[in-house]
Amino acid sequence: MRLSPSRFGRLVAVIAALAIAAAACGGSTASSGPSDGGASAVPATPGAGPTQGGTLVAAIEGEPTSLDPAFDYDFVSGLATSSITEPLLVFCENDTTLCPNLAESWEASADGLTYTLKIRQGVSFQDGSPMTVEDVVFSLNRIRDPQLGSYVGWMLGSVSDVRATDDSTVVITLAQPDALFEYALASTAAHVVSKAFVEKSGDKYGKPEVGSMGTGPFKFAEWKTGDYQRLVRNDNYWNKANGGPYLDEVTIKILPEPTTRVAGLQTGEIDYMISMVPSDQYATVQAMSDVTLSFIPSYYGEWITFNTQKAPFDNVKVRQAMNYAFDKRAVRQLYYGPNADETKATLVNPTLWTFEKEAWQAAWDQLPAYDVDLAKAKQLLDESGVADQLNGKEIAYYESTPSIKGAAEAFIEAMGKLGIELKARKVTFQESVALQFGPHDDYDILVASWGSDFPDASGNLRPNFASENAGAGGANSSNYQNPAVDELLAQQNAIPNDKAERARMLIEAQRLIAEDSPVIVTAYPRWPLATNKRLGGVEAASLWYWQSLFKNVYVVK
């Protein structure tokens, strides 16, 4: 899962944004507005080919956790981590499928229990030592070791054995088939680290003193905590045939205050910002003459979640009534305009139809949208028989993301029209994380957000709706427990090779969930990407948080 970014101190952000907008309008040419997305967002100046040299400053909103891929599971650590170390496979074709990387090919057995990987030969680490199968086996087993406490260890949870069978082959054995396992090979869980370097660094590995070392396009240079990380080009990069690295240096600057980040874009001190442009400042950034703001289709969603194990929200009619009474479209329009996609009653964003697209489309057309219908809402509420228990129930939300706060406020207002008096329970972003992933027994309604780790509908449905994830640590924040859905989600996961059947089961699960209305989906927002126009070769897609973002970036002028 990936959570909506936390933001700090936005009290005067609006005033400041207006002022920056006024300044931005000083420039004569306005940017072309939201581009329609797609993988490469920023077109290079025609005729100007990539050249080596130049530097880039990217802004992130918080301190990275570590440069050790084992602990990279957030939106801020990956910019550096994925430039230094690389995974065995990579997401490609707009992040809808898998392509070779440090493994030049891979094959799954018919029973889905054995994966055989051919490891690329002739790849060197940044210190000049060759990458071997021993490093690959070491890297995977390291992530699997519970003692390490890796944040991505769960991705390899089905693995029972990893071994090298010869100098170029690694065989991974699973205890049971797992449809999502393959994707883990393109995540930080399958980054190849140098065994020698990790062992030499001991518990300092990934920390500012020693940093990290891998096969990636950029080398670690410096990390000043609370301030910035600095990377320099790896001139011996193995995959130069496919482009960069071109830039001499990349600086990743930590700037928690959104207004300051936006000011930095305007002054040219910041060249690159992905996802961390607040939606209420899109217009400001679009008006900047030197900056391009584009939008990337996402696997991300925002929604209101009912605690379905808590009365009266265990009553399906109450949930449906509230859904019919709430104008989701208005909220989305207000906070995202054209930069979020139309929703229906599912967490499977249409961008996640990465296989069996026609089947998903047909199912989508049948899905309820719960368009506003106050008469129907009132009728359902009456039928529920528990309308009198709803007054004074709480909706928990954090205020630092405009669309989250806005959805909660609009929801409270809409419920007022149903005669229900909901209370606002304002929490910090981190408290909301604790609610969403805690024991799920300490709230009535919660505004939640989530982005799939993988290009697969199952990556959204299983964590959020399987009853095994309802307990502490799980993501099933609606506490949804439906044996039929559990069965479908478990069965589809066990048949990784039968995509048609998997899609059928996932679609059926999606239908059951939509009828039960455990969540009200408010938006599938796209990722904003702001870049200075002097940059070319910028590429980012839905799973940008797993990508090596700076490899092909160059300075145009």
Partner 1 sequence: MAGYVVRRLLALIPVLLFVSFVTFGLVRLAPGDPVTIVLGGRKVDPATAQALREQFGLTGDPITQYVAWLGRALNGDLGESYRLRQDVLDLIADRLPITLELIAISMVLAIGIAIPLGIAQARRRDSAIDYVGSLLALVGLSIPVYFAAMVGVLVFAVWLGWLPAFGSGEDPIDRLVHLLLPAGALALGTIALTSRMTRSSMLEVLSSDYIEAARAKGLPERTILVKHAFRNALIPVLTVTSLQVGFLIVGSVLVETTMGLGGIGSLITDAIQNRDYPVIQASVLLLTVAFALLNLVTDVLYAVIDPRIRYGR
By CB under 8 A, name the binding residues for partner 1.
1, 3, 6, 8-9, 11-12, 16, 19-20, 23, 62-63, 65-66, 71, 73-74, 146-151, 153-154, 157, 206-208, 224-228, 253-257, 259-260, 263-264, 266-267, 269, 427-431, 433-434, 436-438, 463, 468-469, 471-475
Q: Between residues 157 and 368, which has the closer beta carbon with respect to partner 1?
A: 157
CA 488 from centroid of its chain's CA atoms: 25
Phi, psi of 522 (to 5 degrees): -100, -35
Q: Between residues 23 and 92, which has the closer beta carbon with respect to partner 1?
A: 23
Amino acid at 63: E
CB of 266 to partner 1, least distance (A): 5
Residue entry with tokens 């002097």: 534
Q: Between residues 111 and 441, which has the closer beta carbon with respect to partner 1?
A: 441
CA atoms within 13 A on the CB side of 330: 13
Burial class (CB in 10 A: 0-12, 13-18, 19+), 226: exposed
Q: What does the DSSP assignment read for 370-384?
A: ----HHHHHHHHHHH
Q: Between residues 74 and 248, which has the closer beta carbon with respect to partner 1?
A: 74
CB of 219 to partner 1, least distance (A): 20
Q: Between residues 205 and 524, which has the closer beta carbon with respect to partner 1?
A: 205
Structure tokens of 412?
């409270």
CB of 173 to partner 1, least distance (A): 18
Across the beta sheet with 272-274, what order do the strands follow?
Answer: 218-224, 228-233, 249-254, 55-60, 272-274, 527-532, 291-296
Q: Between residues 6 and 531, which has the closer beta carbon with respect to partner 1?
A: 6
Q: Between residues 34 and 157, which has the closer beta carbon with respect to partner 1?
A: 157
CB of 155 to partner 1, least distance (A): 9
Structure tokens of 229?
């990380």
Structure tokens of 393?
């129930």
Q: Between residues 235 and 468, which has the closer beta carbon with respect to partner 1?
A: 468
Q: Between residues 31 and 229, which has the closer beta carbon with respect to partner 1?
A: 229
Q: Are 211 and 198 in contact (CB under 8 A)?
A: no
CB of 398 to partner 1, least distance (A): 11
How far is Cα 206 from Cα 192, in angstroms, rounded to an integer?
13
Phi, psi of 75 (to 5 degrees): -90, -5
CB of 142 to partner 1, least distance (A): 13
Q: Between residues 260 and 379, which has the closer beta carbon with respect to partner 1?
A: 260
**What SS3 state is found at 353?**
coil
Residue entry with tokens 């000043």: 224
Residues contacting residue 57 through CB under 8 Å, at least 6 positions apart:
250, 251, 252, 253, 269, 270, 271, 272
Q: Between residues 73 and 360, which has the closer beta carbon with respect to partner 1?
A: 73
- Nearest to residue 484, comparing CAs of 463, 501, 502, 467? 467
CB of 340 to partner 1, least distance (A): 22
Q: At what angle do helices 328-336 and 402-417 cross, to 10 degrees?
A: 150
| Distances from the Cα of 179 to the Cα of 32, 189, 395, angstroms | 41, 16, 35
Q: Between residues 259 and 308, which has the closer beta carbon with respect to partner 1?
A: 259
CB of 221 to partner 1, least distance (A): 13
Q: Are 164 and 86 in contact (CB under 8 A)?
A: no
Q: Between residues 109 and 467, which has the closer beta carbon with respect to partner 1?
A: 467
Q: Between residues 282 and 398, which has the closer beta carbon with respect to partner 1?
A: 398
Amino acid at 477: S
Amino acid at 504: R
CB of 175 to partner 1, least distance (A): 13
Which runs of consecutive H residues, i.e. helices, occur in 341-495? Answer: 357-366, 374-384, 402-417, 429-437, 458-465, 483-493
CB of 2 to partner 1, least distance (A): 8
CB of 262 to partner 1, least distance (A): 9
CB of 407 to partner 1, least distance (A): 19
Q: What does the DSSP assignment read for 122-186?
A: S-B-TTSPBP-HHHHHHHHHHHH-GGGT-TTGGGGTTEEEEEEEETTEEEEEESS--TTHHHHTT
CA atoms within 13 A on the CB side of 185: 32
Q: Are 57 and 269 in contact (CB under 8 A)?
A: yes
CB of 211 to partner 1, least distance (A): 12
CB of 438 to partner 1, least distance (A): 6
